[in-house]
Amino acid sequence: MSHLIAIFYFDIFYFDDPKHIQQPLIQTIVDELLEQENCPSHGKSAAMTNWFVDQIFNTTR
């Protein structure tokens, strides 16, 4: 009888979570609402990103 023994090697990396990771996007949206700056993120770009991710994961039917 044969035995298969698998030894897995992996590295463990420790790092702190970034603080306020969404803050830059939120600030651009607020600036857009206050008519101070144009926000690069809009519905059309979100729809294109959503379509692309759906194609990768084949979740659309």
pLDDT tens figures, 6-17: 567 777 778 787
Q: Is residue 16 part of a domain?
A: no
Classify 31 as helix, strand or coil. helix
Query: What pLDDT score was predicted for residue 21?
Result: 80
Query: What pLDDT score was predicted for residue 34?
Result: 95
Query: What total of structural domains would you count in the chain?
Result: 1
pLDDT tens figures, 29-60: 899 999 998 888 778 888 988 888 888 887 65
Is the whole-model pTM more than 0.85?
no
Q: Is residue 12 part of a domain?
A: no
Query: What pLDDT score was predicted for residue 59?
Result: 61
Query: What pLDDT score was predicted for residue 33?
Result: 92
Domain interval for residue 42: 23-57
Q: Is residue 5 part of a domain?
A: no
Q: Is residue 28 part of a domain?
A: yes
